């Protein structure tokens, strides 16, 4: 008997993962014509976060039902829907920042396996932390070490359960797979599917931002936090100013905040101080919707993403960048740090766009400022790479190949 609902897409995260889930589901339905449902938390303002056009397309598709469940009882609500709809495949959108604070993920996997359902999990980022040691013996230091090691074991436990119980794990890069294989109970059923990109996004977005006096418009988009490297962007701009490059830098994004960790606000204050008296640097801190981000991208000459490689304290971690994927899908040049998520997509198919030092970044950007025709050529090259390798149609097809074999 074929189940009424073939696939259940579950997205506990209401921001970037919601955008990913919505785009993926839209294209999977175009390929498979199966019946499916898409589940979000009730707090998700989907038209705002995901975008009016995309949500309209999904709501008008009679193959899919969209559910919004109360945050507090999200896991229970999903279990009730599983019992009611009996889908063949459960696909969970998984994010380190999300499961690090909640055990909601685990009962869903156990319950799904109890009913004999197939479970696929997309891990958008992967972290593995080492044990924390210190030669200091004060009680305060001891308590901090204990706290860090408890968190480490907690995250490790959840990873073990996910890796052991899931039928397939989907990651975005080979480097993510390498990190996963360091965990106990790592499985052979790990599939690499790149982060998708809307390669048709430029049609219905109006760009109202204007640059000054033909100045090169550079943007660093994303959460304001140290690992995103906004301070590196400012240092790059200082060097560009010194060599007389006419450019403006716009740093834009929200500030992640929790009571336990105020470092992001400290970092924000640091970059504000760092950019003091720099008239060609602006910083705007607020949450941008998916549509707003794409409008910002389309009104830029260069998207600058100087992400830090997180190898401090020997932390193993990898993630993908939705901003990077969106930018090249829009045909906008990206200059970024030498991280796996960028290199694995660009490969050797486009001219050198990644850097390891500030001077290398300055050389790349100044070459574009001196020869604007190169910007157009590189943008076309990146657009072609996106269309051929990471369009949502391509990514959905890769997912469907995986799901159909479960």
Nearest in space to 189 (alpha carbons), one of 156, 166, 172: 166
How confident is the model at residue 305, as a pLDDT?
Answer: 93
Please give the mean pLDDT across all residues of the chain: 83
Are the CB atoms for 126 and 99 separated by under 8 Å?
no
Nearest in space to 291 (alpha carbons), one of 35, 76, 23, 25: 23
For the ranges 16-30, 55-69, 193-207, the lowest mean pLDDT is seen at: 193-207
pLDDT band at 113 (very low <50, low <70, confident <90, very high): confident
Better pLDDT: 112 or 239: 239
Are the CB atoms for 342 and 173 separated by under 8 Å?
no
Nearby residues of 387 by Cβ (< 8 Å), 6 or more positions away: 199, 329
Alpha carbon dihedral 8, 96, 110, 66, in 10-degree steps, equals: -20
Better pLDDT: 239 or 156: 239
Are the CB atoms for 364 and 168 separated by under 8 Å?
no
**Residue 154 pLDDT greater than 80, yes or no:** no
Percent of the chain with pLDDT over 70: 85
369-390 pLDDT tens trace: 988 888 888 988 999 999 999 9
Could you give the CA distance from residue 16 to residue 93 in angstroms, rounded to a whole number? 10
How confident is the model at residue 230, as a pLDDT?
Answer: 95
Are the CB atoms for 19 and 44 separated by under 8 Å?
no
CA diameter of the chain: 70
How confident is the model at residue 208, as a pLDDT?
Answer: 42
Are the CB atoms for 19 and 38 separated by under 8 Å?
no
Judged by DSSP in three states, 153 sits in: helix
pLDDT band at 315 (very low <50, low <70, confident <90, very high): low
pLDDT band at 98 (very low <50, low <70, confident <90, very high): low
Concatenated DSSP letters for 317-336? Answer: EEE--HHHHHHHHTT-EEEE
Residue 58: exposure state from Cβ atoms within 10 A (0-12, 13-18, ≥19): buried
Query: What 3 state SS string does 39-84 have?
Result: EEECCCCHHHHCCHHHHHHHHCCCCEEEEEECCCCHHHHHHHHHHH
The DSSP output letter for 228 is: G
Nearby residues of 346 by Cβ (< 8 Å), 6 or more positions away: 328, 353, 354, 382, 385
**Residue 150 pLDDT greater than 60, yes or no:** yes
**Residue 121 pLDDT greater than 80, yes or no:** yes
pLDDT band at 188 (very low <50, low <70, confident <90, very high): confident
Tracing tokens 């997309």 back to the chain, one arrives at 122
* Angle, vertex CA 157, rays to CA 21 and CA 195, nearest 5: 25
**Residue 204 pLDDT greater than 70, yes or no:** no
pLDDT band at 157 (very low <50, low <70, confident <90, very high): confident
Better pLDDT: 81 or 150: 81
71: alpha, beta or left? (left if phi > 0; alpha if psi -120 to 50): alpha
* Angle, vertex CA 142, rays to CA 139 and CA 144, nearest 5: 110
226-244 pLDDT tens trace: 889 999 999 999 999 999 9
Percent of the chain with pLDDT over 90: 40
Judged by DSSP in three states, 399 sits in: helix
The continuous run of DSSP H or E covering 157 comes out as: helix 139-165
The DSSP output letter for 348 is: T
Please list the alpha-helical segments (H only) found in 258-391.
263-274, 290-298, 322-329, 340-346, 358-370, 372-389
Better pLDDT: 2 or 105: 105
How confident is the model at residue 175, as a pLDDT?
Answer: 82
16-45 pLDDT tens trace: 788 899 999 999 999 988 999 999 988 767
Residue 210 burial (CB count, 10 A)? 8
pLDDT band at 209 (very low <50, low <70, confident <90, very high): very low
Could you give the CA distance from residue 315 to residue 330 in angstroms, rounded to a whole number? 33
In this structure, what token pair is assigned to residue 175?
A: 């480097």
Could you give the CA distance from residue 92 to residue 108 in angstroms, rounded to a whole number? 9
**Residue 147 pLDDT greater than 80, yes or no:** no
265-304 pLDDT tens trace: 889 999 999 999 999 999 999 988 888 888 899 989 999 9
């Amino acid at each position: 008997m074929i189940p009424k609902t073939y696939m259940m897409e579950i997205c506990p995260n209401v921001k970037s993962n919601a955008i990913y889930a919505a785009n993926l589901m839209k294209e999977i339905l175009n390929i498979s014509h199966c019946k499916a449902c898409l589940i979000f938390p009730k707090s998700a303002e989907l038209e705002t976060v995901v975008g009016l056009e995309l949500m309209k397309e999904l709501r008008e598709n009679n193959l899919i039902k969209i559910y919004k469940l109360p945050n507090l009882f999200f896991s229970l609500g999903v279990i009730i829907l599983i019992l009611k709809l009996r889908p063949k495949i459960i696909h969970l959108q998984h994010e380190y920042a999300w499961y690090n604070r909640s055990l909601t993920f685990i009962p869903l996997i156990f319950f799904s396996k109890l009913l004999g359902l197939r479970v696929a999990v997309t891990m958008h980022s992967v972290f593995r932390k080492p044990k924390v040691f210190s030669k200091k013996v004060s009680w305060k230091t001891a308590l901090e070490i204990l706290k860090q090691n408890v968190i480490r074991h907690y995250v490790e436990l959840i990873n073990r359960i996910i890796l052991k119980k899931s039928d397939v794990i989907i990651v975005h890069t080979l480097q993510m797979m390498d990190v996963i294989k360091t965990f106990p109970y790592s499985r052979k059923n790990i599939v690499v599917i790149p982060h998708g990109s809307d390669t048709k996004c430029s049609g219905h977005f109006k760009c109202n931002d204007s640059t000054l006096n033909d100045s090169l418009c550079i943007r660093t988009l994303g959460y304001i936090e140290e690992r995103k490297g906004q301070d590196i962007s400012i240092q790059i701009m200082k060097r560009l100013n010194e060599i007389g490059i006419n450019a403006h830098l716009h740093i834009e994004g929200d500030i992640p905040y929790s009571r336990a960790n105020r470092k992001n606000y400290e970092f924000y204050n640091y970059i504000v101080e760092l950019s003091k008296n720099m008239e060609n640097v602006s910083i705007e801190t607020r949450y941008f919707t998916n549509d707003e981000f794409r409008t910002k991208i389309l009104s830029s000459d260069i998207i600058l993403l100087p992400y830090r490689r997180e190898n401090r304290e020997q932390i193993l971690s990898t993630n993908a960048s939705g901003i990077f994927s969106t930018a090249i899908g829009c045909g906008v040049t990206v200059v970024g740090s030498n991280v796996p998520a960028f290199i694995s997509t660009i490969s050797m198919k486009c001219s050198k766009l990644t850097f390891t030092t500030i001077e290398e970044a300055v050389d790349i950007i100044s070459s574009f400022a001196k020869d604007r025709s190169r910007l157009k050529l590189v943008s076309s090259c990146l657009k072609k790479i996106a269309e051929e390798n990471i369009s949502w149609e391509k990514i959905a097809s890769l997912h469907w190949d995986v799901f159909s074999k479960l």
